[in-house]
Chain A
Amino acid sequence: MTTIEERPAGDGAHGFGRIHRKEDPRFIRGQGNFVDDVQLPGMLHGAILRSPFAHARIVSIDTSAAEAHPRVRAVITGATLETLSLAWMPTLSNDVQAVLATDKVRYQGQEVAFVVADDRYAARDALELIDVDYEPLDPVVDARTAMDEGAPVVRDDIEGKTDNHIFDWEAGDRAATDAVFTEADVVVTEDMLYPRVHPAPMETCGTVASMDKVTGKLTVWSTTQAPHAHRTLYALVAGLPEHQIRIISPDIGGGFGNKVGIYPGYVLAVVGSIVTGKPVKWVEDRSENLMSTSFARDYHMRGEIAATRDGKILGVRVRVLADHGAFNGTAQPTKFPAGFFHVFTGSYDLQAAHCEVTGVYTNKAPGGVAYACSFRITEAVYLIERMVDVLAYELEMDQAELRMKNLLRPEQFPYTCATGWEYDSGDYPATLSLAMDMAGYQELREEQRAKRERGELMGIGISFFTEAVGAGPRKHMDILGLGMADGAELRIHPTGKAVLRLSVQTQGQGHETTFAQIVAQELGIPTADVEVVHGDTDQTPFGLGTYGSRSTPVSGAAAAMVTRKVRDRAKIVAAAMLEVDPSDLEWGHGTWGVRGDPKNAKTIAEIAMAAHSNLELPEGVEGHLDATCVYNPPNLTFPFGAYICVVDVDPATGEVDVRRFIAVDDCGVRINPMIVEGQVHGGLAEGIGMALMQGIAFDEDGNCLGASFMDYLVPTALECPSWELGETVTPSPHHPFGAKGIGESATVGSPAAVVNAVMDALKPLGVRHADMPLTPAQVWRAAQGRPLRTDLAIS
């Protein structure tokens, strides 16, 4: 399994290589089928009444006027759900979350009531007819005071709960780390916030639920990145028989982690269908999506870095205060309440490292998903890459030189880092060197020197990141007890055409193309001859879904392994056809032939027809070529990259212009380089968004200040330079064809490069750090030594 076959660079039509996406024609022509496109006979529409308060006791709810509305079919409250034992549901972190509030509301935008009506307008009109009497309570807004004596208790629904503490967690060796810090020449400390941001996919979340009362079958069209996991959770929570639940995840307009969990609206659509006996559609609007669905980050971090005077980094120590909002809904493997944050040792050879993470409840929306980030690695990369720059600032060393001095060397792989991760492969110095060559690093530094003499602010920022993706090995990783292995099924029709069934679900990543290319590469048939089926639990094998860049590392491996099973079966059939022993056959790209007699060979199409014919097969071979497999990854894969960002800053206005962005990614073997580059482009844009403009702050009353696209900014083409991409290829030694996953690399690696560039520009003004987002106001205030707190309202 660990052999890496040499493969010629192809055109994609018969395996790996650049080929247009199979998905594109239907999207370009407006023929996609998204949840909101689903129309069923007699379908009703739901709308959610949400709390205007961040923290308030519910005194009473009067739904009589709404129920009297002529087009309203049902009004559901927390009290209704209590009778069904559905008022609360489990979160992905083994906490519970209110489906509809019963005792009190705990964040602005929390679900309070659900109206089902004949159409959207009536449902929305009826929300205004519901009279809720609230008794406002003091909210917990500032995470830094959540654990103060006397702070209001957010989760008094939990028996005996008297504070807002969720968990304490640590990783690494505390004593060894302390020892390294005691001995070090230089110790530098920096406080930094990775602000609360939101994945903000183009398509908001929604569900169409249809309960057939005759058959008892529940069909749910839902914006989900993990249809199989959702099916099992519906079965466990609602007590519905799992074989009678079908989850369909049709075309999905972007996920980025936003569609991993189950939201109250999904459950309410199901309840609405059960109550009314009709299909019910619920699709949230943009403000609902931004206010109430899963946020990401919100990590208040104190980093410390220890080094020798000449720039050898010895150790890193981190203390994190994690704001998880009102319910602990973080999506990550069970063992890791802070996700994979402990990969903050980054790309460097450290003697010791240690982190402590404390999670707290606040009166904010729950979540804590990976926003295009493999379980908190974005926070980890930002922390270490900022700390390296902070160290360079104090040592007055060039940032590239300091990194080169400390990067892991190729001969150290596989490398076990100070917090226990085993990095699979890499040649980090080569990747950084390539990025520096592409950037013209020395010339940029000379230009910067000349500009600084004229009082102009120009900055060059570097980020070298290591990702840990492809969760994950079953013995270490599960979500709510479900192990993270993926199934795959490959059916070969008699004419040699193939149907691949997968558990992962595309949200724009191009799975229908990429996975067809894997089968084509492994079986030697045209990419066009492979149909990829996904996103329907009745049609596909079990698996944990698409997030954390896991599709290619896990399901991609499953696709390769199931194809190899087919290839092995084909060999036996070919041997029978050619009347030779299987051991006499050798594999050509798409044929089994007699060794030394290349004309005596059978194509996969010929073999497939024979396998379905009356050809006599060896004993124990029943016929057909179909195969199934489950792939349990032996380890994560560790993609990496070197990013360089060049900015110009207007000192009088604080405006930042990202002039250039050089991104060299190493994701191992690339299946479709065009799709890889597209994913990198998107991730880099997200990085610019987070670094310069995105963030959800809350005012003192707990009002969400990022509840529309007027307030929560998504970057446009005008903020993005023409990306300059490069690549190195270090195959993963344990993946069947050496791939590593790419979806999130750019989002993980780029924010630090942008922030490092802006801080580098401000260096002549004595600025070492300011928190994202680096809006013009924040840059101007940082230049004056008075940076803003970006998690609170600006005053």
Chain B
Amino acid sequence: MQVPAHFGYDRATSIDHALRLLARHGDQARVIAGGHSLIPMMKLRLAEPEALIDINGIDELRGITVSGDELLIGALTRHADLLSSAVVGEHFPVLHDAERVIADPVVRNFGTVGGSLCQADPSEDLSAAFVALGATGVIRGAAGSRTVPLREFHLGPYETAVAPDELLVEVRVPIRPGGSSAYTKVERRAGDWAVAAAGAAVWLGPDGAITDAGIGLAAVGAEHFTAPEAEEFLRGRAGDDAALVEAGKIAAQHCDPQADQRGPADYKRHLAGELTTRALRRAVARASGQEA
């Protein structure tokens, strides 16, 4: 049995309480939500925080609601809740596609949306999905709330815009008419991290042309999980297959995959293109009512 080093433990009862605890412990504390990344790292002693601040008791961090033209997802929302939410599926099928291939039911029952984003693993699926949707993170600190587009949220592997004394409290996804989305992933086995994965969102005009597109890439070294060149290529184009294939090629060109035991760089680059095209095809089919 792997056992962690000694650590302190505090259970926060409110967001403000959590922020006070964070201010007290400084950067030696870690927030724990689902714990499915942090606890294994602690058991391997890759992480040895002095204190854990448990936010699982903070009800105000939980929940999925529509407010105006935005979907609001509390940071403590479990993966399983996102997957079972009808309103999420109605507006953003990319999130359901992604949740179906994130880890396994045990992890999804306890792992959280905010925890996944803040862990900032370069292979993390929801980061790519939210980036494709143009979502925004709401970050609370002692001085109040600020919002950061998820396209600026990830500063690098395991590094985010959330300061040590701040807490990600919510993700906001704009609801825009005429669009749909999809997620595709290649994994070595169910529940594995992605070899490569792509999320796509498209919005179509009355003539079927693409008015806007969002693409998120996981595990291929795409800066901020994004593929802006491919998105720019698609805007204003007819959503025909040749365009979607070309967008995939552009996305593949601009990412920077690294070889590991999941595959060599050339394969991952190839997948970035192939999966981008597949996600776009599905998103276009859904947006034009040809596929559920």
A binds B: yes
Which residues from chain A sit less than 8 Å from chain B, CB to CB?
Answer: 36, 120-121, 124-125, 128, 283, 285-287, 652-655, 692-693, 697, 705-706, 710-711, 713, 715-716, 718-719, 775-777, 780-781, 788, 793-795
Assess whether B177 is interfacial by the CB under 8 Å rule.
no
Assess whether B146 is interfacial by the CB under 8 Å rule.
no
Q: B2 and A795: CB pair below 8 A? A: no
Q: Which residues of A contact B44 (CB under 8 A)?
A: 287
Q: A795 and B264: CB pair below 8 A? A: yes
Q: B188 and A711: CB pair below 8 A? A: no
CA distance A710 to B5 in the complex (A): 22
Given contacts A120-B3, A287-B44, A653-B274, contact A693 B261 (CB under 8 A): no
Q: Which residues of B contact A794 (CB under 8 A)?
A: 259-264
Task: List which B242-292 residues lie within 8 A (CB) of chain A.
Answer: 259-264, 267, 270-271, 274-275
New A-B contacts (14) at CB < 8 Å, excluding given A128-B45, A653-B271, A713-B189: A124-B3, A125-B5, A286-B2, A653-B186, A653-B275, A655-B186, A710-B193, A711-B261, A716-B104, A777-B195, A781-B264, A781-B267, A794-B262, A794-B263
Q: Which residues of A contact B261 (CB under 8 A)?
A: 697, 705-706, 711, 793-794
Q: A716 and B260: CB pair below 8 A? A: no
A193 CB to closest chain B CB (Å) equals 16
CA distance A285 to B4 in the complex (A): 12
Q: Which residues of B contact A692 (CB under 8 A)?
A: 188-189
CA distance A655 to B264 in the complex (A): 15
Q: B262 and A777: CB pair below 8 A? A: yes
Q: B1 and A283: CB pair below 8 A? A: yes
Assess whether B190 is interfacial by the CB under 8 Å rule.
yes
Assess whether B26 is interfacial by the CB under 8 Å rule.
no
Q: Which residues of B contact A120 (CB under 8 A)?
A: 1, 3
When A and B form their complex, which 8 residue pairs have the shortest distance between CB atoms, in order from nearest?
A777-B263, A718-B190, A285-B2, A777-B267, A713-B189, A652-B274, A653-B186, A124-B3
B133 CB to closest chain A CB (Å) equals 24
Given contacts A124-B3, A781-B264, contact A715 B189 (CB under 8 A): yes
Q: List 16 A-B contacts (CB under 8 A).
A: A121-B3, A286-B2, A287-B2, A654-B267, A655-B186, A710-B193, A713-B188, A719-B189, A719-B190, A775-B263, A777-B263, A777-B267, A780-B267, A781-B264, A788-B264, A795-B264
Given contacts A777-B263, A793-B261, A794-B259, contact A713 B192 (CB under 8 A): yes
CA distance A711 to B188 in the complex (A): 10
A119 CB to closest chain B CB (Å) equals 9
Assess whether B236 is interfacial by the CB under 8 Å rule.
no
B195, closest chain A residue (CB): A776
Assess whether B156 is interfacial by the CB under 8 Å rule.
no
CA distance A718 to B104 in the complex (A): 11
Q: Which residues of A contact B1 (CB under 8 A)?
A: 36, 120, 283, 285
A780, closest chain B residue (CB): B267
Given contacts A287-B2, A652-B274, A794-B261, contact A716 B189 (CB under 8 A): yes
Q: Which residues of A contact B263 (CB under 8 A)?
A: 775-777, 780, 794
Q: A777 and B5: CB pair below 8 A? A: no
Q: Which residues of B contact A128 (CB under 8 A)?
A: 45
Q: Which residues of B contact A653 (CB under 8 A)?
A: 186, 271, 274-275
Q: Which residues of B contact A286 (CB under 8 A)?
A: 2
Q: A716 and B190: CB pair below 8 A? A: yes
B270 CB to closest chain A CB (Å) equals 7
The total of interchain contacts (Cβ-Cβ below 8 angstroms) comes to 74
B220 CB to closest chain A CB (Å) equals 13
Assess whether B191 is interfacial by the CB under 8 Å rule.
yes
CA distance A718 to B103 in the complex (A): 12
Interface SS majority for chain B: loop
Specify which of A653, A710, A718, A795 lies most central, judged by the most chain B CB atoms within 10 Å of its CB.
A653
Q: B188 and A775: CB pair below 8 A? A: yes
Specify which of A653, A654, A777, A781 lies most central, judged by the most chain B CB atoms within 10 Å of its CB.
A777
A523 CB to closest chain B CB (Å) equals 44
Interface size class of B (residues with CB under 8 A): 20 to 34
B267, closest chain A residue (CB): A777
Q: Which residues of B contact A776 (CB under 8 A)?
A: 186, 188, 195, 263, 267
A301 CB to closest chain B CB (Å) equals 23
B277, closest chain A residue (CB): A652
Specify which of B104, B260, B267 lies most central, judged by the most chain A CB atoms within 10 Å of its CB.
B267
B46 CB to closest chain A CB (Å) equals 11
A601 CB to closest chain B CB (Å) equals 58
Q: Which residues of A contact B264 (CB under 8 A)?
A: 777, 781, 788, 794-795
Q: Which residues of A contact B104 (CB under 8 A)?
A: 716
Q: Which residues of B contact A775 (CB under 8 A)?
A: 188, 262-263
CA distance A301 to B136 in the complex (A): 55
Q: Which residues of A contact B189 (CB under 8 A)?
A: 692-693, 713, 715-716, 718-719
A715, closest chain B residue (CB): B189
Q: Which residues of A contact B186 (CB under 8 A)?
A: 653-655, 776
CA distance A125 to B7 in the complex (A): 12
Specify which of A718, A776, A795 lies most central, judged by the most chain B CB atoms within 10 Å of its CB.
A776
A776, closest chain B residue (CB): B186
Q: Which residues of A contact B271 (CB under 8 A)?
A: 653
Cβ proximity bits B39-55 to A, threshold 8 Å, 1 near / 0 not: 00000110000000000
Specify which of B191, B263, B271 lies most central, judged by the most chain A CB atoms within 10 Å of its CB.
B263
CA distance A151 to B271 in the complex (A): 39
Q: Which residues of A contact B195 (CB under 8 A)?
A: 776-777
Q: Which residues of B contact A654 (CB under 8 A)?
A: 186, 267
A528 CB to closest chain B CB (Å) equals 37
Q: Which residues of B contact A716 (CB under 8 A)?
A: 104, 189-191
CA distance A216 to B2 in the complex (A): 33
Q: Which residues of A contact B6 (CB under 8 A)?
A: 121, 125
CA distance A699 to B191 in the complex (A): 25
CA distance A780 to B45 in the complex (A): 36
CA distance A225 to B93 in the complex (A): 51
Q: Which residues of A contact B259 (CB under 8 A)?
A: 793-795
Specify which of B188, B191, B270 lies most central, judged by the most chain A CB atoms within 10 Å of its CB.
B188
Q: Which residues of A contact B193 (CB under 8 A)?
A: 710
Task: List which B152-193 residues lie within 8 A (CB) of chain A.
Answer: 186, 188-193
CA distance A655 to B191 in the complex (A): 15
Q: Which residues of B contact A125 (CB under 8 A)?
A: 5-6
CA distance A570 to B188 in the complex (A): 60
A506 CB to closest chain B CB (Å) equals 24
B8 CB to closest chain A CB (Å) equals 15
Task: List which B30-84 residues lie within 8 A (CB) of chain A.
Answer: 44-45
B266, closest chain A residue (CB): A781
CA distance A793 to B262 in the complex (A): 10
B161 CB to closest chain A CB (Å) equals 27
CA distance A655 to B261 in the complex (A): 15
B82 CB to closest chain A CB (Å) equals 20
CA distance A128 to B48 in the complex (A): 13
CA distance A191 to B263 in the complex (A): 22
B212 CB to closest chain A CB (Å) equals 27
CA distance A530 to B192 in the complex (A): 45
B197 CB to closest chain A CB (Å) equals 11
B189, closest chain A residue (CB): A713
A654 CB to closest chain B CB (Å) equals 8
CA distance A710 to B193 in the complex (A): 8
Q: Which residues of A contact B3 (CB under 8 A)?
A: 120-121, 124
B119 CB to closest chain A CB (Å) equals 14
Q: Which residues of B contact A781 (CB under 8 A)?
A: 264, 267
A271 CB to closest chain B CB (Å) equals 21
Q: Which residues of A contact B270 (CB under 8 A)?
A: 780
Q: Which residues of B contact A697 (CB under 8 A)?
A: 261
B48, closest chain A residue (CB): A128
CA distance A83 to B107 in the complex (A): 49
B183 CB to closest chain A CB (Å) equals 14
CA distance A705 to B6 in the complex (A): 28
Q: Which residues of A contact B45 (CB under 8 A)?
A: 128
Task: List which B183-237 residues lie within 8 A (CB) of chain A.
Answer: 186, 188-193, 195
B146 CB to closest chain A CB (Å) equals 34
CA distance A121 to B195 in the complex (A): 35
